[in-house]
Structure 1
Amino acid sequence: MSNFPSVSVVMPTFNGAAYLRRQLDSILSQEGVSVALYVSDDSSTDGTREVLDDYESRGLITTTNSGQRGLHCNMASALRMATTDLVAISDQDDIWLPNKLQTLVAALSGADAVFCDSALIDENDAPISPSLMKELGISRPEIGRHFLRLIRVNSVSGHGLLFRRKLLPDILPFVDACVYDQQIALVAAMRGGVNFVPEALTLHRQHGGNHHNKLAVVSRDEQPKEDREFMRQRQRKNELDMIRFALARKPDKLGLRARWDFFLLSIIEGRLTGARRRFRDPVLLLAIWCIARDFFRLLPGTRSNFRRTISYARRVRDGGGALQ
């Protein structure tokens, strides 16, 4: 028996034969951990199934077929296969550095999840960027238990995430309107917190076959006006969906800070949907909320958080109307 910590690595696949063997080998070669690799395939037609059958016949992986149900259902199918206390998520076309899981397990500490930065490579393994966070413009990826940050901006990429399996009953089923990694991270942040490792432990591949998580960095000035309006409305809709997700999965036991957070979310949710007209301008409410936090010294860097929160409240206010 190995004394190394055990990690279930789950991988959803769909038509990923081109890069699949490289990724499977990089996972099975992880140092300092005992890996159990589970793959859920979404009825691939390009030879992916043959690659998986080869590895499964040698006892290296365990597979299932989710039956062409899409990314979220395929991911949920893979997650339900996990057997160990710790679970890591893998894309089908990346390459993991040998010390990735060992580093994440050590950094987890008392939190419920941990994630790392990634370097970007192209279809030929040529480097694109040393930091995914930099490319996404995320200067403060740290989350801890401040789950409200995840409602506005998702800084967590699933391919760099490791979390505790005990969270799965609160994570599943996924909400189709929001990306799965944002939902996992939100549940973890509402409970034991989310830690961050700034090292790029994954070589995250960008290529024409990516079906999600593509990078499209276009400045606001370069976007047509109608595109900017569409993106603004989509962002508001995503924020509303994530607020509803958080409210539906609220922990039973809440500290004082978390009580304020969920009170704020319930008010904003009502304002965005038009269900509550009493609080027509959330700016004053949010100001009182931040001042109370500052008074009790519950949040480091409250002044900067105050400014960000007020900016968000004004954006909600200026949007006008109700989201359906």
Structure 2
Amino acid sequence: MTGKPTVAVLLATYNGASFLEEQLDSIARQDLPFIDVWASDDGSTDGTLEILKAWRARWSKGVFHVIAGPRQGYVENFRRMMAMKSVGGAYIAFSDQDDVWDPNKLSYAVKKLDEVQPQALAMYCGRTRLIGKNGAARGLSPLFARQPDFGNAIVQSIAGGNTIVLNRAAFNLIHESCLRTSFVSHDWWCYQIVSGAGGTIIYDPIPRISYRQHGGNLIGENQGWVSRMKRLQALAYGRFADWNVVNIDALDRCRDLLDESGRQTLDGFKAARKSGSLQSLRSLWTHRIHRQTPVSDVALYLAAAFGRL
């Protein structure tokens, strides 16, 4: 394996036996030769561990680690893996336990990351195909056309963790941040901290994974009027503001990891949350804090006007 770049896949599991075989098979079928898997199980009781151990015994692309999770939920399960010093690899990807990856999912991400300067921070993410419990097509996740940046990341997560691949420089940054703080979700945090540090965010408009939607999902699909209404309810009932409290605290703990532009945007957002309605709107505009669509931008400004940031 000398001289060949390895992708490390961080897989968080909990009672995922129903779909885990298909997920792992799709990782094994990736058209890259060297893939290490880090599977952190959070106390499964349904046969998940047996599946992981069987795959560990026959894994031929690298090393397959099975470790005990912290049993504090999926966010902490991912954070603990992201904070581990022992995770190697030139690239690091995240995996759910119930999706299906296209064979070129990782190789395409690596190709796009390699277009960025080697020492620069870079994160690949993208759109997904949505499938039901039985694998039937259910459409696509939203297509986001605006350039990803910290002004967007501070108020919106645009891609699932199951699409994210980081280059080594970006993962080193994420690793350091995870030693300091927790967060709302690992995918949103990666978008925030990498973009806030001046890194490159590569958003792929072409889906390269099938993202399974079912009753056991912790994070579900992000499309359609039902989903839009849920997001509006999150604004109206203060959940968005609660998430922002967590995010701002986490970003403050990592302030020195941000670049100057990121620190200014963070301060502008904090000011928008404390000011009166007109001052809040002005601060959002001045610091180019925005969501990805005009409708969601209106919702953001309404949240600011009514003190729901």
TM-score range (shorter-chain normalised) is 0.7 to 0.9
Task: Report the residue type matching 2:194 in the other structure.
Answer: A
* 2:248 alignment counterpart: 243
Percent of residue pairs bearing the same amino acid type: 22
Q: Secondary structure at the match of 1:62?
A: strand
Which of the numbers 226, 230, 233 marks the counterpart of 1:228?
233
- Whose Rg is larger? 1
SS in 2 for 1:245: helix
Of 139, 147, 151, which residue of structure 2 is paired with 1:148? 151
The count of corresponding residues between Structure 1 and Structure 2 is 292
TM-score, normalised relative to structure 1: 0.77
Structure 2 Cα separation of the partners of residues 261 and 312 of structure 1: 16
Tell whether 2:199 aligns with 1:190: no
Higher relative contact order (CA closer than 8 Å, sequence separation 6+): 2
8 A contact 2:180–2:254 mirrored in 1: no
Q: 2:266 aligns with which of 262, 287, 301?
A: 262
TM-superposed deviation, 1:315: 3.2
For the residues of structure 2 that align with 1:31 and 1:142, how far apart are their CA atoms?
29
Change (3 A) 1:220 1:107: closer
- Cα–Cα, structure 1 residues 307 and 29, in superposed 2: closer, same or farther, change >3 Å? closer
Whole-angstrom CA distance in 1 between matches of 2:75 and 2:108: 27
Q: Which moved more, 1:279-288 or 1:30-39?
A: 279-288
8 Å Cα contact 2:151/2:287 also seen in 1: no
> Relative to structure 1, is the Cα distance of residues 234 and 63 closer, same or farther in structure 2, using a 3 angstrom cutoff?
same
1:234-286 superposed Cα distances (whole Å, 9 cap, x missing partner): 1122233323322332245734x4453233134235x17xxxx8x98333445
Matched to 2:190, the amino acid is: I
In angstroms, what is the RMSD of aligned CA positions? 3.4
Kept in 2, the 8 Å contact 1:43–1:65? The answer is yes
- Pick closer, same or farther for the CA change 1:2–1:98 going to 2, 3 Å: farther
Task: Name the counterpart of 1:117.
Answer: 127
Of residues 77, 90, 98 in structure 2, which corresponds to 1:93? 98
Q: What letter corresponds to residue 20 of structure 2 in structure 1?
A: L
TM-score, normalised relative to structure 2 = 0.80
The residue aligned with 2:141 is 132
Distance in 2 of aligned mates of 1:163 and 1:133:
22
Q: Displacement of 1:83 after TM fit? A: 1.2
Change (3 A) 1:158 1:172: farther
1:30 has 2:30 as partner:
yes
AA of the residue aligned to 2:305: R
Give the Cα–Cα distance (whole angstroms) in 2 for the partners of residues 76 and 253 of structure 1: 19
Residue deviations 1:189-244 (CA, integer Å, cap 9, x gap): 11213111111111111112223335574459978xxx937744111222333233
2:280 paired with 1:316: no
Could you tell me how far 1:26 is from its partner in structure 2? 1.1
Separation (CA, whole Å) in 2 of partners of 1:288 and 1:120: 36
Quote the Cα distance in structure 1 between the aligned partners of 2:279 and 2:51.
56
Determine if the alignment matches structure 1 residue 76 to structure 2 residue 79: yes
Structure 2: stretches of 5+ with no match in the other structure: none
CA distance in 2, matches of 1:99, 1:282: 44
SS in structure 1 of the partner of residue 128 of structure 2: strand
Partners of 2:303 and 2:45 lie apart in 1 by 45
Opposite residue 103 of structure 1, the aligned amino acid is Y
Seen in structure 2, the aligned counterparts of structure 1 residues 123 and 251 have a Cα distance that, compared at 3 Å, is same
- The answer on whether the counterparts of 2:5 and 2:89 sit within 8 Å (CA) in structure 1 is no
Q: Which residue of 1 aligns with 2:185?
A: 179
When residues 106 and 34 of structure 1 are mapped into structure 2, their CA distance, relative to the original with a 3 A threshold, is same
